[in-house]
Amino acid sequence: MAIEIAPSILSANFSRLAADAKAALDGGGTLLHVDVMDGHFVPNITIGPPVVASLRKALPGVILDCHLMIENPDNFIPAFADAGRVGFPFTRKPARTFIARCSSSNPMAANPVWLSIPRLPCTRWNEVLDIVHHVLVMSVNPGFGGQKFIPAALQKIKTLVEVRESLGQSFRIEVDGGVALDTVGDVVRAGAELLVAGNAIFGKGDITENARKLLQAARSATLTHA
Ligand code: DX5
Ligand code: ZN
């Protein structure tokens, strides 16, 4: 499956958000990862529906990969309906009902919902893998950009690849946190295809060039994939 870079706007300069986002897309990013945090579910506050709506207007065709790290995502489904995709931590119950509600409110895609799996054991994933677009493996503790990649995420990615194969399913695998030039090879070789990157793209230097180099490094790792 094709490798895609999802620039995480959390590390962008918010005073020129659309321009930074566009620069990252010019470098080869194909969707924008948008971290929505409420200061309760995770220990940080970021952005919410108004910023998502503004981005939608500024960049009409781009999928906004909204990562909801908020206490009551059920209350906010309509606010993110235009985003393109929404993801939530796999702790919601009953997950299938929640996913069905999200899917039916979103006009932009057939299966716009994804799951993030910070710590849960593999066995429960099976409940919903057939109806999600992708599964996101957190590779840092959620809350902040610019953290160090947690290597244990690699095994989770590999396990997901095996689960997908054994169940004959087609969900994609995303990785989020600490993805940079020195870690991207490992995550791609483990089997991740959607690569979220914030600090590595927006942290320092030229945004477009950073995105381009990261994508290039990811593609080279695919070529060396056994
Ligand atoms: C962390 C967020 C990540 C974050 C990744 O809770 O979910 O999306 O922006 O940032 P980097 O790539 O800087 O680790
Ligand atoms: Zn995220």
List, as one string, the DSSP characters of 144-157: -SSPPP-THHHHHH
CA–CA distance, 12 with 32 (Å, rounded to integer): 11
CA neighbor of 14 nearest in space, from 71, 64, 54, 65: 54
pLDDT tier at 131, thresholds 50, 70, 90: confident
Q: What is the number of structural domains in the chain?
A: 1
What mean pLDDT do residues 204-208 have? 98
User: Which ligand has its closest atom nearest to the C-alpha of 141?
Assistant: 1
Domain assignment present for 221? no
List, for residues 10-26, the tens digit of each pLDDT value. Answer: 999 999 999 999 999 99
List, as one string, the DSSP characters of 153-213: HHHHHHHHHHHHHHHT---EEEEESS-STTTHHHHHHHT--EEEESHHHHSSS-HHHHHHH
Is there a catalytic annotation at residue 20? no
Domain assignment present for 222? no
Catalytic hit among 176, 182, 186, 206:
176
Is there a catalytic annotation at residue 182? no
The pair of three-digit structure tokens given for residue 96, joined into one six-digit string:
């299938």
User: Is pLDDT of 120 > 60?
Assistant: no
What mean pLDDT do residues 68-94 have? 83
Q: Which domain holds residue 149?
A: 4-216
pLDDT tier at 94, thresholds 50, 70, 90: low
Least reliable range by pLDDT among 85-99, 150-164, 197-211: 85-99
Do the bridges between strand 84-89 and strand 63-69 make them parallel or antiparallel, or are there none, so unpaired? parallel
Residues with CB under 5 Å of ion ligand 2 are: 35, 67, 176
Domain assignment present for 226? no
Q: What's the CA-to-centroid distance between 86 and ligand 2, angstroms?
A: 11
User: Is pLDDT of 107 > 60?
Assistant: no
Q: What's the CA-to-centroid distance between 176 and ligand 2, angstroms?
A: 6
Catalytic hit among 35, 74, 82, 182:
35
Domain assignment present for 225? no
Domain CATH number, residue 168: 3.20.20.70
Domain assignment present for 88? yes
Ligand 1 pocket check: which of 42, 46, 144 to mutate, most ligand atoms within 8 Å of Cβ? 144
How high is the pLDDT of residue 223?
Answer: 79
Domain assignment present for 223? no
How high is the pLDDT of residue 122?
Answer: 58
Domain assignment present for 160? yes
Angle at 130 between CA 125 and CA 131, to 5 degrees: 100
List, for residues 40-62, the tens digit of each pLDDT value. Answer: 999 999 999 999 999 999 999 99
What mean pLDDT do residues 154-170 have? 93
Mean pLDDT score across all residues of the chain: 90
Least reliable range by pLDDT among 39-48, 91-100, 123-132: 91-100
Q: What's the CA-to-centroid distance between 225 and ligand 2, angstroms?
A: 26
Domain assignment present for 224? no
Nearest-atom index, ligand 1, CA of 201: 12
- CA distance to 114, 133, 186, 209, 217, per residue, from 28 (Å): 22, 21, 20, 9, 12
CA–CA distance, 92 with 102 (Å, rounded to integer): 13
Q: What is the number of other CB atoms lying within 10 angstroms of the CB of residue 122?
A: 12
